[in-house]
Amino acid sequence: MNTTALAGQVAVVTGAASGIGLASAGALVGAGARVVMVDRDAAALQAVCAPHGDAMIPLEIDLLDAAACASLVPRSLALAGRIDILHANAGLYIGGDLVDARTDAIDRLLQLNVAVVMKNVHDVLPHMIERGAGDIVVTSSLAAHFPTPWEPVYASSKWAVDCFVQTTRRQVFRHGIRMAAISPGPVMTGLIADWPADKLRDARASGSLLEPAEVAEVLLFMLTRPRGMTIRDVVMMPSNFDL
């Protein structure tokens, strides 16, 4: 990848201290961007940002706190001066039978996976509209495209956020803003840590998991297309992944 493809641009990545968010941020920095790293884990943020100097800017925010969530855009602008790219990546996972899920956990998942994404996009749009340009990419999931029977709560949240991306995209393109979703299959992150042990073991043994860096590579491809082209949504999975 061209190391200057995103030179001068500023990206904001949520859930940036680990997993897909961290890989995404690393790819963006590698392409010349500065990245505001948003996460609630201050210690992890400091650790991952330290080797990158001014290219990674830590911003501790608990997105489930409404007031803190509302501060994301103004604080990012205060730190970096502009926002060219928003990668709305932070999310939670619940798998298993619905009857076994805690209702407070359902509330938290829907808040972070759906409402926070909507609020972050809502808050960044005036800045991007004023500038007449911007890119918004939301981390969705393969579960948004298939009614996955072992994760009804998580899959439903991703179906909702995918609908949000594709409807809002049609409102904002006239302002020079591209909006898209990236929908990976299972990725080797902490998000799948609560998979049943036998399911996780079998997935690892069969090579049915993606690496975060593979998702980040596709994200970078989406962002570096000519401005007249929108990669609207990408579904990616291991070649031997069998639904």
For 68-111, the pLDDT digits (tens) are: 999 999 999 999 999 999 999 999 999 899 999 999 999 999 99
User: Per-residue pLDDT tens for 9-30?
Assistant: 999 999 999 999 999 999 999 9
Domain membership flag for residue 241:
no
What token pair was written down for 203?
């997935």
Domain membership flag for residue 55:
yes
User: Residue 2: pLDDT band by 50, 70, 90 thresholds?
Assistant: confident
Cα 154 to Cα 97: distance, rounded to the nearest angstrom: 11
Domain membership flag for residue 1:
no
**Which residues are part of the catalytic machinery?**
154
- The overall pTM is greater than 0.95: no
Domain membership flag for residue 3:
no
Domain membership flag for residue 2:
no
User: Per-residue pLDDT tens for 136-189?
Assistant: 999 999 999 988 888 999 999 999 999 999 999 999 999 999 999 999 988 866
Domain that holds residue 209: 10-235
User: Per-residue pLDDT tens for 65-76?
Assistant: 999 999 999 999
Cα 122 to Cα 139: distance, rounded to the nearest angstrom: 16
Q: 239 φ, ψ to 5°?
A: -60, -30
What's the structural domain count of the chain?
A: 1
Q: 11 φ, ψ to 5°?
A: -115, 145
Domain membership flag for residue 174:
yes
The CATH number linked to 215 is 3.40.50.720
- Residue 203, pLDDT > 80, answer no
What token pair was written down for 89?
């990546």
User: Which alpha helices (H) appear in 84-151, and where do they start and end?
Assistant: 103-110, 116-131
